[in-house]
Amino acid sequence: MAGGLQYNFARLSIAEKLIAINVLVFILDGLSLALLGNSVVKWFQLPQDFIGFLSQPWSLVTYSFFHAGIGHVFWNMIMLYFAGRIFLNLFDTQRFLNVYFLGVIVGGAVFLLSYNVFPTLLDTQTALVGASAGVTAVLIFVCAYIPNQEVRIIFFNVKLWHVGVFFVLVDLIQIPYGGNVGGRLAHLGGAALGYIYARQLLKGNDIGAGFTKIINGIAQLFKPREKKAPMKTVYKKKAAKNKSKAEYDKEANQRKIDAILDKISKSGYESLSKAEKDFLFKAGKED
């Protein structure tokens, strides 16, 4: 069972993985509150004052994994799914993560700044949760990158730039009349990031390149160091033999993978033996 879940999670796109993580966090936090009478959200939500933020700086990112209610998480994940599908047809996982998390960070920064600058918000006690800023960044990115691409909405087609303008106008209109001022401002921060990123990318400038380097640098800190093997003199004949064996093994593995995939298409994933599931999962990790 665990192997099956691991394998299925590994096969998900990055947008689908984020959806799964957000839904899981929402369920676990809800169970914690219902059964233990305590929610952990206060340690991860983004406070509105700088002092509170400085005591938990990680909240500039972690706030995006918590949601205020089932409607909040449902609509965010629906939007992330559809916007993510379009995005990932154009670009790779790394660029998706750049846009999404830069949108989260910029949206959080706009929220934090607004509640310490605008007079009507100074004395308000609130906190920011939700993936909306990151989701909006991804949505507006695709709307700005391929604005004339048409998408089907119920019974008619609309251009992506119409969709983007609609969502931005909804947020602007609801700031004075609809409540949730902080959330709306965060959405607009994410939208601005998505728009600027897309327009700059069309000019050949990837404004997320620095963010990629930071993330890769952090990831390297947690990777175990590989011990360098001592240098050996290898004769060409032996090297050729090893290369031939490696190619043979690769071909054999590919034939086995093809046979397993063919079995899945005919009988479903559950028809696989534990050994076949393990083999397929390990092959996926190696790729």
As given in the structure block, the two tokens for residue 108 are 């959080």
**CA angle, 29 as apex, 27 and 32 as ends, to 5°?**
110
* Cα–Cα separations (whole angstroms), residue 103 to 40, 85, 212: 24, 17, 14
- φ, ψ for residue 73 (rounded to 5)? -70, -35
What pLDDT does 248 receive?
Answer: 61
CA-closest candidate to residue 102, choices 243, 218, 244, 210: 210
Low-confidence ranges of the chain (pLDDT < 70): 1-3, 225-249, 262, 264-270, 272, 280-281, 283-287
Pairing of strands 127-128, 46-47: antiparallel
In this prediction the pTM is 0.75
Residues 145-181: pLDDT tens digits?
999 999 888 888 999 999 999 999 999 999 988 778 9
